[in-house]
Amino acid sequence: MSNAVISLILGGGSGTRLYPLTRKRSKPAVPVAGKYRLVDIPISNCLNADMNRIFVLTQFNSASLNKHIKNTYHFSHFSKAFVDILAAEQTPDNPTWYQGTADAVRQCLHHIDNYEFEYILILSGDQLYQMDFREMLQHHIESQAEVSIATIPVNAKDASDFGILKTDNTGLITSFTEKPKQDVLAPWASPVSDEMQSEGRVYLASMGIYIFSRQTLYDLLNGQESSTDFGKELIPYAINADMKVVSYQYTGYWTDIGNISSFWEANLGLTDEIPKFNLFDESHIIYSRARMLPPAKISGTMKNTIISDGSIILDSQLERCVVGIRTRIGRNSVITNSYVMGADYYQTLEDLEKAKGKGHPPMGIGDNCVINNAIIDKNCSIGNNVRINVGDPLPDGDHEKYAVKDGIVVIKNGMVLPDGFVI
C-alpha cells in the first residue's frame, strides 16, 4: 500500500523560537547530529517505509534547504521515486503566501492532482523521531479511518505544551483541546497501555503527523476555505463533524525541535551511552548528502562525544559534545555540553592569508579555549583563549555575535570571536 501514498513535509514558519539558528535558514535546514539536516529525519522515515513520493513545502529562508534537497535525494531514472520542492508562490488566483499548515497544503493541491494516490501523509519538518509509517497506514486502513493522527502519551506536566486528544476504547478521537492547563486535565485522560498508565502518561498529545484519505482531505480543504491550520482548525472541525478521526498511538522516542533548549538537549542526548534516538539502527537509516569527506583525525581526549567526518581535533578535551563536519579544534581547549556545527568548506591557504590580514583567526576553535553549554553555528572563527559560558548563569539576550537562550550561548553563523573574547 506504500505506493498509494503521497507524502507532504511542511517546511514550517519563520522559526523565531529557534533563532538565531534560523537567522539565515529555515527550521528544516538546521544541522542536526553533526552531519544531517532536520528535514532528513522525516524524509528518511518515508524512504525507510517505502513511501518515496515526497514533496517538501517551503517558504521562509528556503535557499539552503532547497540546495540540500537538490544535492541529496537522487533516484534512478527508472524509478517513480522523488523528493521535490513546492515553494510558496503567488499566482493570479492566489496572491498570498502560505497562511498556515492547512493553507500550504491547499495551495499545493493542484501540483499533486495528476498523481495516483489514495492517502496523503502530512509531516512536520522539524521533529526528531524514528517511526514506521507503514504501521500507521495499516492502522488507518484497518480502522477505516478518514483521518489518522499520530499521538504520543504524555504526563500531566508535559500535556500543557501540546494539543491533547481524547479517545474512546476503540481509538476514535472524540474531542480536542489546545494546550490545556493542568487544573482542567483530569477529564482528558485516554485509554493507554499498562506501561504508559504506570508512568502516568495517560494524555494523548498530537504529534502533528497525519494521514488523510484523499477525498477526505480535498473535502476538508475545499469545504473550509477560511481554515488555515490543521491542528487548530481543520482537525477540531473534523472531530466535531463526526468524521472518523482515529488515534495511532506511538510510544517510541519523539521530540519537537521547537526552541533552542529542546534542540540542544536533543543533540546532546545522542551522546548518551544508550541514546533514545538510535543513529546506528540499520532498519531506520538516516539519509543525507554524501560529501566524500576524509575521516576525522583526533589527538585529544573524548568522552561521550560524536565526531563527524572531516574534523581535525588536536590535543583538547571534549565531553558530551556533538562535533559537526570539517570542524577544527586547536590545542588545550576544553569543550563540554556543546554542539559545534562545523563548516561548509575548508579554508584554502589564500583564505587563511586573507583572514590573517583582517586579524581574524582561522575557521574553527583555537587553542586554550573553554566552552560550556553552547551551540557554535557553522563557519565560525573562534580565536585563542576564548571563554564561553563558564561563569555565572547568563541572562537571555540577543547580541551582535551571539544570543543567549535558557542559559545556552548560541554563536551566530559565520561570526568571528577574536583572541581572548569572553562571553
Identify whether 20 is preceded by a cis peptide bond (ω within 30 of 0): yes
Residue 222 C-alpha cell reads as: 475545499
Q: What count of other Cβ atoms lies within 10 Å of the Cβ of residue 103?
A: 22
Upper half-sphere CA count for residue 304 (Cβ side, 13 Å): 15
pTM: 0.93
User: Cα–chain-centroid distance for residue 182?
Assistant: 27
pLDDT in tens, the chain (423 residues): 557 999 999 987 666 889 999 998 888 899 999 999 999 999 999 999 999 999 998 877 678 888 899 999 999 888 889 999 887 665 556 656 567 788 888 888 888 888 999 999 999 988 999 999 999 999 999 999 999 999 999 998 888 888 899 999 999 999 998 888 888 888 898 999 989 989 989 999 999 999 999 999 999 999 888 888 888 889 999 999 989 999 999 989 999 887 999 999 999 999 999 999 999 988 899 999 999 999 999 999 999 999 999 999 999 999 999 999 999 999 999 999 999 999 999 999 999 999 999 999 999 999 999 999 999 999 999 999 999 999 888 999 999 999 999 999 999 999 999 999 999
Q: CA separation (Å) from 198 to 153, 182, 195, 275, 355?
A: 12, 19, 5, 22, 59
Total length of the chain: 423
Tell me the C-alpha distance between 30 and 305, whole Å: 20
Please report the domains of the chain, with CATH numbers, ordered by start residue.
2-269 (3.90.550.10), 295-417 (2.160.10.10)
Rg (CA), the chain: 23
